[in-house]
């Protein structure tokens, strides 16, 4: 029996000692579309919530978390997804996606680049997430697909509506930095960001799209003025939408408000 080359032996040693999270490599080796899904070049962790275990389904909700700049696990959308699955019709499925480079509470990571949990809703990451959503859509085959995004996740969802027209039927955007240059200016920042502005993609959105824009009245991270500007752009395009400024809510608490679930369930119903 011939001896293995030294470089092969080293590779085997490295593979044996890699942490468990590395099994979520790029792309997924065996994606089940329930716990992980391939997004072109990356493998994304997901958590799937169902009202029941039946096969038929009318509405798929896909939830995208915010930037979690504090470093906390990216699980803020889990309670919202669970509530949507529990509150919707029996054929409702809600999938919370952990964006590229982020981790769950158990220390597992989606592969990809979180860019320091800051300037990361750029075109490449958005396309990765869109590809994952496309695979979830093919897997679940819903009659309607509704995106629910918070903060950076809302920016991604808004861009997807125009950059990948027809992928989703509707979106709930919560605390959205939908105009990145304006948002950075409001925060006193002059540095260049590569992240995309959802406002720039309104002109490419299908006229059949429906959007709910929610923001906390006390949000000093993505102030209500940004939501209002985006709503004006939607109106100019002729997109059916609603704008809700929620009193006593700030940028963090707004995602847990009942109005988010209510808006998503409204948009989940067929016209």
Backbone angles phi, psi at 126, to 5 degrees: -65, -40
Q: Sorting pLDDT into bands at 50, 70 and 90, what band is 86?
A: very high
What pLDDT score does 7 carry? 44
Q: Is residue 243 part of a domain?
A: yes
Mean pLDDT for all residues in the chain: 90
182-226 pLDDT, tens digit per residue, is 999 999 988 889 999 999 999 999 999 999 999 999 999 999 999
Q: Sorting pLDDT into bands at 50, 70 and 90, what band is 4?
A: very low
What pLDDT score does 255 carry? 97
Q: Is residue 119 part of a domain?
A: yes
38-76 pLDDT, tens digit per residue, is 998 999 999 999 976 555 568 999 999 999 999 999 999
The domain total for the chain is 1
Q: Is residue 1 part of a domain?
A: no
Classify residue 81 as exposed, middle or buried by CB count within 10 Å of its CB (0-12, 13-18, 19+). buried
CATH number (domain holding residue 251)? 3.40.50.1820
What's the 3-state SS for the chain? Answer: CCCCCHHHHHHHHHHHHCCHHHHCCCCCCCCCCCCEEEECCEEEEEEEEECCCCCCCCEEEEEECCCCCCCCCCCCCHHHHHHHHHHCCCCEEEEEECCCCCECCCCCECCCCCHHHHCCCCHHHHHHHHHHHHHHHHHHCCCEEEEEEECHHHHHHHHHHHHCCCCCCEEEEECCCCCHHHHHHHCCCCCCCCCCCHHHHHHHCCCCCEEEEEEECCCCCCCHHHHHHHHHHHHHHCCEEEEEEECCCCCCHHHHCHHHHHHHHHHHCCC
What pLDDT score does 54 carry? 55
Q: What is the pTM of this model?
A: 0.89
Q: Is residue 215 part of a domain?
A: yes
Check residues 10 and 68 and name the one with the higher pLDDT. Answer: 68
Q: Sorting pLDDT into bands at 50, 70 and 90, what band is 17?
A: very low
Mean pLDDT of all residues in 172-180: 98
Mean pLDDT of all residues in 162-189: 96
| Domain with 29 in it | 6-268
What pLDDT score does 180 carry? 97
What pLDDT score does 15 carry? 32
128-162 pLDDT, tens digit per residue, is 999 999 999 999 999 999 999 999 999 999 999 99
219-232 pLDDT, tens digit per residue, is 999 999 999 999 99
Residue 89 CA to residue 92 CA, distance in Å, equals: 6
């Amino acid at each position: 029996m011939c001896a293995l080359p030294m470089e092969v032996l080293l590779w085997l040693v490295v593979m044996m000692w890699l942490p468990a999270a590395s099994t979520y490599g790029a792309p997924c080796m065996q994606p089940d579309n329930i716990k992980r899904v391939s997004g072109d070049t990356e493998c994304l962790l997901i958590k799937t919530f169902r009202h029941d275990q039946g096969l038929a389904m009318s509405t798929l909700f896909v939830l995208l978390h915010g930037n979690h700049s504090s470093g906390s696990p990216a699980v803020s959308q889990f309670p919202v997804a669970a509530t949507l699955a529990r509150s919707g019709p029996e054929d409702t499925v809600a999938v919370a996606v952990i964006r590229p480079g982020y981790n769950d509470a158990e220390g597992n990571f989606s592969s990809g680049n979180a860019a320091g949990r800051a300037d990361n809703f750029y075109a490449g990451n958005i396309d990765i997430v869109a590809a994952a959503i496309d695979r979830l859509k093919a897997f679940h085959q819903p009659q309607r697909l509704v995106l629910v995004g918070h903060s950076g996740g809302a920016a991604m969802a808004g861009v997807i509506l125009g950059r990948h027209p027809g992928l989703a039927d509707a979106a709930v955007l919560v605390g959205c930095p939908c105009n990145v240059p304006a948002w950075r200016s409001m925060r006193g920042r002059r540095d260049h960001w590569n992240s995309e502005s959802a406002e720039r993609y309104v002109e490419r959105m299908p006229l059949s799209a429906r959007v709910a824009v929610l923001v906390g009245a006390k949000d000093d991270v993505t102030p209500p003025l940004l939501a209002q500007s985006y709503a004006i752009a939607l109106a100019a395009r002729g997109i059916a939408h609603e704008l809700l400024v929620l009193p006593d809510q700030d940028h963090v608490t707004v995602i847990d408000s009942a109005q988010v679930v209510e808006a998503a369930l409204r948009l989940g119903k067929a016209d």
